Structure 1
Amino acid sequence: MRPQIVYVHGSGPKPRAALLRAQWDRALFGHGADGTSRLAYWAPLLHSEPLPDREPDPLEGLPGAVAETEAETEAEAEAEAEAEAELPAPPLEDPARFVERTAAAAARVRAAAEGGARGGLGARGGPLDGWLSDMAYLAEALALAEEPRPGPGEEPLPKALPLPRPARTALFRLLVRHTFEDVHAYFFGGFGPAVRQVVAETLDAAEEARGADGGPLVVIGHSLGSVAAYEVLAAGGREVDLFVTLGSPLGIAEVQDHLGVPPAVPPGTALWLNASDARDVVALDHTLRPDYAPPGRITDLLVANASANHHGIGEYLSNPLVREPVRRVLDRAAGPA
C-alpha cells in the first residue's frame, strides 16, 4: 500500500512549489515526505511571482512581514488620499474605511470579470461583504486586546506577545485583505474553475500513485484551499480516507451560498477533521458539523494557533490534534494489508 497526502494551500502569494511543500512536510512530519506528499499549487493563477525563498509568507503571521505590510498599507492610503484630495490617513485607519477600500478593490475585479463598468471607489464587494466586515472588526478587536501592556510598576512587557498594536493590526489586515480578495476572485472573478482544475489534477496524480492496492489518501486544505478541495471532492468519484480543513471559511454562510453543491460531506470521504483557532478571523464560524451532513463523519476542533495572526498553516499542521490523526491514517500502509 502506498499512502498519499495532498496539500491545497490558501490565499496570497506563496513560495515556489517545492519549497512550500517541504515547509508543510516539516510542519506535519518533522521531515520531508517525498513520494508521499503532493501540493496543489495554484498561487500563480492569482499572483504572478512566487515569494523569494528568504522572504516569509506574510499570511503566516510572521513578524518579518510587518514592515513591508505597514509600508504597503501606508502607500495605498496616501495614493487614495492624493487621488481624492484628502488629508493622509491616520496611522490606524478606521476599520470601516479599510472595509470600504477592500470591498471596492474586489468589486473592480468582479466588474472586470463580468465585463461591466461597475466597481469604482466606494463600490461594495457584493455577496461577501458581511464576511469582510466581520473579519475586519474581529481583527481590530484582537489587535487591541492582544496589545502588550505594561504591568504594575516597572514590570516588563510580556514576551508572549512581542508585536505592538500597529504591527498586529497590519498583519491582521493583510490576512483579511488577501483572503477576501482571493476568495472574491475564486467565486466571482472567474478563477474558481482553474483553481479546482489544479486540485483535481493533483488528486489524479495521487490516486495513480496509490496503485491498485489503494493506499490511504489524506487531503489537507488551508483557508481558501479548503474551499477548492471541498468543491473538487464534492463533485464525487474519489475515495478519501481523511479530509482535513484548517482555518477554513466553509462554515461562513456567505461562502456556503456560493458553493457549487449544497453543503454535505463529500461522497467517498470517510472522515472529515475541521480545526481552527477561535481567534482565526478567516474561520469565523468554527463548526461545520451542523451544516454538512451526515454530522457523524465530521469532527470540529478548536486548537491553539500561536502564529501572530492565528491563521498560519505551520502552526496548524504541527498541532498534535491535527498531526496525530493524519499520521494514524497514513500509518495504515505499514500495517497488515
Structure 2
Amino acid sequence: MRPRIVYVHGCGPKPRADLLRAQWDRALFGRDADGTSHLAYWAPLRHPEPLPDRLNDPLEGRPGAVSEAEAEEEAETPAPPPLEDPARFVARTAADAAREAEAAGARAGAEGGPAVAEGPLGGWLRDMAYLAEALALAEERRPGPGEEPLPRALPLPRPARTSLFRLLVRYVFEDVHAYFFGGAGPAVRQVVADALDAAEAARRADGGGPLVVVGHSLGSIVAYEVLAERGQRADLFVTLGSPLGITEVQDCLAAPPAVPPGVALWLNASDARDLVALDHTLRPDYAPPGRVTDLLVGNGSANHHGACEYLSNPLVRDPVRRVFSRIA
C-alpha cells in the first residue's frame, strides 16, 4: 500500500505543472514524493501561459514582479511617489472583474454577474485592500538611533511591498470572482475531480493507502466543494491561507458550510497577516467542529500567503508526514 496526496493550487498564473508539483513536494517532504503526489492543475483555464521557469511566482510571496534593481532604486528615493488610494484600487479591481464576468457570460450566452463593488464579495475585496495598505506601512523597517543602516532591498520598501500585496489581492479576487460568477467554476471543479479520480485509482491499485488533499487559497474552496459534493473519503484535508472562513465566501458556496462527509480530519492553517484568510477559524462554522483544527502559523513569505512557506511549516508538514508514515 502507498499513500496518495492531491494538491490544489491557488490563484494567478503558475509554473508548468510538473515544476509546481515538484516545488510542493520539496516544501512538504524535502524531496520528490516518488510518484505518490497528484496536482489538480487548473491555472490554464484562467491564465493560458505558464510562468517561465526562471521567474518566481509572485503570489508565492517573492518579489517576482518587482526587480531587485527597482527595489533598490525605490529604497534610495527619499520621498516615494504617492500610492493609489485603496478605495480607488478596490473600485478599479471590482470593475475589471465585473467586466470580465459579463464578457464570460456573454460568450456563454448567459447574463453577466452582479456589480462586484456592491456584490457579495465586495466587502472582502475592500478589507483585503486596506489590510494590504496597513501591512505595507507597518512592516516597513526603520532604523532607530544608533542602528546600522538596513539592507536596501530586503525587506522591500513600502512602494514595492504595496505593489506585491495588491498583486496578491487583485489576482485572488479576480480568480475567486471568476470561479463563482464568471463561469469558471464547473471547469475548475472538473480538473480537481479528475485529479482525485486519478489518485483514488492509483490508491486502490496500490492496495488502498490513505489519501491526503491539500488546497491553497482559492484551491481550498474548490477542493472543499468537490469533496463535499462527491463525499469522497480523505484521511486528511489540509487548507492553507483559505478564505473559507469569510462570510462573503461562505454565502457563495453551493451548500451550507460543513465538514465534507468523507473527510476524517481537517487541518486549517493560516498566518495572522495573510490578506486572503481574513477569518482564521473554520471550526465554529463547519460542523462537526471536532473534526476541524485551526492553526495560526508563521508564513515568512513577503506577502505571508506563499503555499511553499505554509507547506514547509512543521505544524502543517508533520501531520501530513504522519499520515504517510503509516505505510512507510
TM-score by length of 2: 0.91
Specify the alignment match of 1:85 in structure 2: none
Please say if residues 224 and 248 of structure 1, whose CA atoms lie closer than 8 Å, have aligned partners that are also in contact: yes
Specify the alignment match of 2:88 in structure 1: 97
Please say if residues 105 and 112 of structure 2, whose CA atoms lie closer than 8 Å, have aligned partners that are also in contact: no
Q: CA deviation at 1:161?
A: 5.3
Question: Is 1:130 the counterpart of 2:106 in the alignment?
Answer: no
Question: Is 1:285 the counterpart of 2:276 in the alignment?
Answer: no
CA distance in 1: counterparts of 2:132 and 2:243, whole angstroms: 15
Alignment of 1:161-180 (within 5 A): 162-180=155-173
Alignment of 1:265-280 (within 5 A): 265-280=259-274
Specify the alignment match of 1:236 in structure 2: 230
CA distance in 1: counterparts of 2:11 and 2:325, whole angstroms: 30
Amino acid at match of 2:20: L
Please say if residues 128 and 275 of structure 2, whose CA atoms lie closer than 8 Å, have aligned partners that are also in contact: yes
Amino acid at match of 1:35: G
CA distance in 2: counterparts of 1:19 and 1:125, whole angstroms: 39
Please say if residues 277 and 311 of structure 1, whose CA atoms lie closer than 8 Å, have aligned partners that are also in contact: yes
Amino acid at match of 1:185: A
Q: In structure 2, which of residues 136, 147, 151 is the aligned counterpart of residue 143 of structure 1?
A: 136
Please say if residues 148 and 161 of structure 1, whose CA atoms lie closer than 8 Å, have aligned partners that are also in contact: no
TM-score by length of 1: 0.89
SS in 2 for 1:245: strand
* Superposed structure 1 runs of 4+ greater than 4 Å apart: 116-119, 158-161
Worse overlay, 32-41 or 302-311: 32-41
CA distance in 2: counterparts of 1:39 and 1:181, whole angstroms: 22
CA distance in 1: counterparts of 2:208 and 2:122, whole angstroms: 43
Specify the alignment match of 1:204 in structure 2: 197
Specify the alignment match of 2:211 in structure 1: 217
| Number of matched pairs | 314
Specify the alignment match of 1:40 in structure 2: 40
Question: Is 1:109 the counterpart of 2:100 in the alignment?
Answer: yes
SS in 2 for 1:199: helix
SS in 2 for 1:310: coil
Unpaired segments ≥5 residues, structure 1: 72-89
Unpaired segments ≥5 residues, structure 2: 72-80
Identical-pair percentage: 80
Please say if residues 148 and 163 of structure 1, whose CA atoms lie closer than 8 Å, have aligned partners that are also in contact: no
CA RMSD, Structure 1 to Structure 2 (Å): 2.2
Alpha carbons of structure 1 residues 219 and 160: separation in structure 2 relative to 1, 3 Å: farther
CA distance in 2: counterparts of 1:189 and 1:123, whole angstroms: 11
Specify the alignment match of 1:247 in structure 2: 241
Amino acid at match of 2:101: R
Worse overlay, 26-35 or 245-254: 26-35
Please say if residues 104 and 125 of structure 1, whose CA atoms lie closer than 8 Å, have aligned partners that are also in contact: no
SS in 1 for 2:213: strand
Question: Is 1:323 the counterpart of 2:317 in the alignment?
Answer: yes
Please say if residues 97 and 116 of structure 2, whose CA atoms lie closer than 8 Å, have aligned partners that are also in contact: no
Q: CA deviation at 1:158?
A: 7.2
Q: CA deviation at 1:159?
A: 8.9
Specify the alignment match of 2:52 in structure 1: 52
